[in-house]
Amino acid sequence: MNKNFIAVTVDIEDWYHIPSVTGSPFSKFKDVDEFFSKWDKRYDYLTEPTKRVLNMLDELNIKATFFVVADVVEHYPGLVEEIADRGHEIGCHGLHHACKIHPKTKKPLMSTEEFEKRTLKARRILEKASGKEVIGYRSPNAFIGGWMLDSLKKLGFEYDSSVSKNSLYNKTDSQLTNVTTVPYHPKNDCLDAEINDPKNKGLQEIPWPYFDFMGFKFPTAGGPMLRFLGSGYIMLGLKQSLKRSSTVFYFHPIDISNEKFPNIGKGRPLYWIIKGETIENRIKYILKNTKANFGCCSEMLQI
């Protein structure tokens, strides 16, 4: 594994992919298909900020991993192809950005067979569009179960990056025993870390960074925490996590969109109150001022 390395990851999804709008038990629409069957207004708030992200990464000479929701290929023609053509790694972010476990109970929302069927379809769509092999996965909304990693192993994925060990929330169905910010091999049927098992050389989990203060672990991977708490907060966790091992940073192109999104769905009235150029500048500051090597996930793991 590369040392002092931060995998830069970009989640490619649009405003309607968030759980208050589609893909969760409390969504306005059951799924993306229902959304498009009923929504007759503009939906694309993704293309413009994605191109700005690509230009920013070019300027900084950074190749990132873009975890892409597969339905983006259909609804944003040419976008995934451009990401791949500009040298970035393509990872799978699900078929429709749907939660696979219930946000509250953590019980499965679909069968193992259905999850594998959807994930295979998503990977094939992404590989056809990008012309690249897809070996990495990130679960939509970061809700992840151990049974899902077993399926990802079965399907031939080489890594996942969804687990966030912290003291504020647990989006998994496991206790995350022995999990820190260090990439690890998970045990079968759970997300706990397998310790000192030389036979376990399969799928690797790239957990998210945190800042440990007197035993309380603050999540610092990016995303909403970047928008609400700023670059200094994120850098605290990145720098501390780098002392343990290589780590990961993530954001969404829509985080830097300067446009106002449609106001539908319930439960997150202030979710997008901070975004746009302010967040773009925060991302640039982190990438310019954190003393580390930057690249994609497979480069970090030396796959």
Q: What is the 3-state secondary structure (H, E, C) of 7-39?
A: EEEEEECCHHHCCCCCCCCCCCCCCHHHHHHHC
Indicate the average pLDDT of the chain.
Answer: 95
Prediction pTM value: 0.96
Beta bridge partners of 247: 6
Residue 44 burial class via C-beta count within 10 angstroms: exposed 0-12, middle 13-18, buried 19 and up: exposed
Nearest to 50 by CA among 280, 221, 224: 280
CB proximity list for 235: less than 8 A, separation 6 or greater: 286, 289, 290
Which whole number is the average pLDDT over 183-200?
82
Strand, helix or coil at 4? Answer: coil
pLDDT of 124 over the 80 cut: yes
Decide if 68 contacts 127 (C-beta within 8 A): no
d(CA 74, CA 66): 17
> Given this model, what pLDDT does residue 262 score?
93
Query: Over the stretch 50-60, which tens digit does the pLDDT of each residue have?
Result: 999 999 999 99
Which whole number is the average pLDDT over 249-273?
88
Give the confidence band of 195 by pLDDT, cuts at 50, 70, 90: confident
Decide if 206 contacts 161 (C-beta within 8 A): yes
What is the DSSP code string of 281-296? HHHHHHHHHS-SEEE-
> Given this model, what pLDDT does residue 265 score?
73
Both structure tokens of 173: 């169905």
Give the confidence band of 276 by pLDDT, cuts at 50, 70, 90: very high
pLDDT of 83 over the 80 cut: yes
| Triad 139, 141, 144: Cα angle to 5° | 45
> Given this model, what pLDDT does residue 160 score?
99
> Given this model, what pLDDT does residue 194 score?
85
Lowest mean pLDDT among 34-48, 62-76, 132-146, 188-202: 188-202
Q: Cα-flanking dihedrals φ and ψ of residue 49, to 5°?
A: -70, -25
> Given this model, what pLDDT does residue 197 score?
58
Which whole number is the average pLDDT over 93-118?
97
pLDDT of 261 over the 70 cut: yes
Angle formed by the axes of helices 277-289 and 231-242, nearest 10°: 30
Strand, helix or coil at 299? Answer: helix
Q: What structural domains and CATH numbers belong to the chain?
A: 5-301 (3.20.20.370)
> Given this model, what pLDDT does residue 3 score?
84
- Our measurement of the distance from residue 244's CA atom to the centroid of its chain's CA atoms, rounded to an integer in Å, reads 21
Q: Where are the beta strands (DSSP E) in the chain?
A: 5-12, 65-68, 89-92, 136-137, 159-160, 204-205, 210-213, 216-219, 247-251, 293-295
Query: Over the stretch 278-298, which tens digit does the pLDDT of each residue have?
Result: 999 999 999 999 999 999 999
pLDDT of 196 over the 90 cut: no
